[in-house]
Amino acid sequence: MDVIKMARELGKAIQADERYKNILVAIEKNEADTELKPLVDRVQAIQTKYQAGIDAGKTQEDLDPLDKEFQEVYAKIMQNENMKNYESAQKEMDSMMKNIVQILTLCANGADPNTCDPSKIPQK
């Protein structure tokens, strides 16, 4: 039994899953959204200016206007319907991947692959 080959098969199964397909569609819609792209670009520009301000030794008071602008633009991004759909799809994908990793971890620690239950792992 080739474990690497089986991991590749798992990768194919993940890519065939609806959750994976949904995240790809959501990414595509975000990239095509002419209202969203300028907002994302603006947030990135604000982050760059903010980091440059930190590197230049500016005080938090000096950086507050950038922080306020960031919060405003970020709120607009998160109100965008395509971004909401992306966030939802990403949560579903993250949940699936978390379960897969937990099952693999349980199995690597000796649990029965047919019955181990990641939902019974204590959450930190």
pLDDT tens digits, one per residue of 56-111: 999 999 999 999 999 999 999 999 999 999 999 999 999 999 999 999 999 999 99
Distance between CA atoms of 122 and 124, rounded to whole angstroms? Answer: 7
Q: State residue 124's pLDDT score.
A: 61
Distance between CA atoms of 83 and 27, rounded to whole angstroms? Answer: 9
| DSSP line for 53-115 | HHHTT--HHHHHHHHHHHHHHHHHHHHSHHHHHHHHHHHHHHHHHHHHHHHHHHHHTT--TTT
102 and 108 Cβ atoms separated by less than 8 Å: no
Place of tokens 């379960």: 99
CB atoms within 10 A of CB 35: 11
Q: State residue 65's pLDDT score.
A: 95
State mean pLDDT over 31-49: 96
